[in-house]
Structure 1
C-alpha cells in the first residue's frame, strides 16, 4: 500500500485539501491553518509528491483510491486545486459516501479547451511534456511563473511559491508526465453535471491557466453551483488572496 502523507489542523466540519500538479501540501499550509480556525482541515500529498510514496500507474483511479484510503472514514468536503480538482471529482464519482461537499479551486472538470469549452490550450501541455524530457527543474520553474502572471505582487509571490514548492524533492519525471496526461485527457463534465451534493467553484479573475470564462460553462452544466471569482487573483489565491479565499470557503461551508 502506498504511504500517503497527511497533516490535520483544527476542529469542526472536515475539509480535505488536494493540491495540484508537481506540488505538495506544504504550499498551502498557511492557508490551511487559517481555515482550521473554523474547521478540521486535512492536507494530503498526492502519491509521488512531497512526502508521499510513489504509485504506478499514476492515474485517476489509483490516486483517488490511495487518497480515500488515507483519510478517516467519514463524509468530508473535498477541495481540489488545479489538477487536484480532477481527483476530487473522481473521488465523488467512485466513493460518494465519503463526499458531502465539493470545492474546485482554480480547477475544472475538463482542463483543455475545445470548440464548446473554455480551458487550457493543449499545446501548452504538450510543450511542458516535451520540456520534461530535457530538464524537470527548469520545466517546473517555467510552470510556476504562469501561476503568478498578472498579479500585483508577482515577484514576491513567485519567490514564496518557489521556496514552498522546493521544500521537498521534485516528483519523478514519470509521475509528472502521467499527471500531465490526466490534465490532457480527463473529461469529468458528466460527473460534475450530475453531482447531487453542494458544489463550489472558486476562480481567480487573472488566472492564465484556468480562464475565468470556464465558470460560465460550469454554471451551465450545474446551475446550482456556488461560483466565486476573486478579483486580482491568479492561479494561487491561497498565497495572494488568503483572506478572500478563506471567506469564500466559509460562505460555502456554513450554508445549509
Structure 2
C-alpha cells in the first residue's frame, strides 16, 4: 500500500485489526526486516510497517530527512489509516523517529520500545563521522553499504548470518544515494530526547545488545534507570531483531 505525502509515495503494510503496533526500521533497512514477526503479531492486533523516506520503496522528500520529518510521515500514514493511538517499536534510526513522533504527538503514543537505539543526540565525533559517511556514500555507495552492514554485528555473527546480511546489503543497494545521505544528515542534527522519554508515563522499554558497536551497552544500562524504562538485555550486536529473533519475537508479543 502507499500514501502520497508531499509529492512523494510512502509505502507501508498494514495487517490485522485492533490495538495498533507500528514497527519502524533502521538506517539502511526497510520494512522487510519485520516480515518474520508480522504473521504472528497480526493474529492478535493491527501491525503497521512503514518504509521511511529514502528507504525501501519510499521516495525522497528533501535533501535532509530529519527525524521530525520522518515522524510527520509516520503520522500521515496513521491518519490515513484512521489510527489515533499506537504502540511503537523502532530499531536504531526507527527509534529516533519513534521518539520524534512521541514529541510531535504524545497523545497518540500508547507505548514505546527502542531497539538498539537511544534518546541521546550524536556526539561531536559521531557528527564528524556522519559527514565522512556522506562523502563516502557519494563516492561509492556499494562499498559503504558493505562495510557499514558488516560493522553492525560481531565477526562470529557475520558468519552465522551471512545470507541474511547479504540480503540486507542487496536491498540497501537499491536505495538511492540521496536517500541514504538524507538520513545521515538527519541523524546528525537530531536533538536529545532524554527528557521526552523520561516524561512519557506509558509503557516504555529499551532493548540493548551487549556487543552493540553502535549504541554502547554501558550508556544504555545507566540511561534506563534515569528514564525509568524497562531494560531488555541481549547478548549480541546492533541487529537484535535478527541476532536474537526468538527473544525479540517473544517480547513484542508480550507488549500490551
- What runs of 5+ residues in structure 2 fail to find an aligned partner? none
Shift of 1:96: 1.7
Q: Deviations over 1:180-215 (max 9, x none)?
A: 123223122222222222211011111111111122
Segments ≥4 residues shifted beyond 6 Å:
none
Please give the alpha-carbon distance, in whole angstroms, between the structure 1 residues aligned to 2:24 and 2:238: 15
| SS at 2:208 equivalent | strand
Aligned to 2:37: 31
Q: Match for residue 214 of structure 1?
A: 219
What is the 5 A alignment of 1:15-164?
15-56=21-62, 57-71=64-78, 72=81, 73-113=83-123, 121-150=126-155, 152-164=156-168
Higher deviation after alignment, 19-28 or 172-181: 172-181
Give the drift of 1:7. 1.3
Q: Which segments of 5 or more consecutive residues in structure 1 lack a partner in the other structure? A: 115-119
d(CA) in 1 for partners of 2:186 and 2:172?
A: 23
- Structure 1 CA distance for aligned equivalents of residues 244 and 121 of structure 2: 23
Tell me how far apart the structure 2 counterparts of residues 122 and 191 of structure 1 sit (CA, whole Å): 22
Offset at residue 111 of structure 1 (A): 4.8
TM-score, normalised relative to structure 1: 0.86
Equivalent residue number for residue 170 of structure 1: 174
- The whole-number CA distance in structure 1 between the counterparts of 2:176 and 2:246 is 33
Q: Supply the distance in 1 between the matched residues of 2:108 and 2:179 (Cα, whole angstroms).
A: 26
| TM-score normalised to structure 2 length | 0.86
Alpha-carbon distance in 2 for matches of 1:234, 1:211: 10
1: CA distance, partners of 2:182 / 2:171 = 22
Say whether the 8 Å CA contact 1:14–1:76 is kept in structure 2: yes
Q: Is the Cα contact below 8 Å between 1:228 and 1:248 reproduced in 2?
A: no
* Cα 1:54/1:160, change in 2 over 3 Å: same
Match 1:235 to one of 211, 217, 238 = 238
1:188 aligns with 2:198: no
Relative to structure 2, which stretch is displaced further, 83-92 or 31-40?
Answer: 31-40
3-state DSSP of counterpart to 1:5: strand
Q: Which residue of 2 aligns with 1:5?
A: 11
DSSP-derived class of the 1:78 partner? strand
1:151-208 Cα deviation digits (max 9, x unpaired): x442241431221442475333232223112322312222222222221101111111
> Is the CA contact (8 Å cut-off) linking 1:208 and 1:235 kept in structure 2?
yes
More helix by share: 2
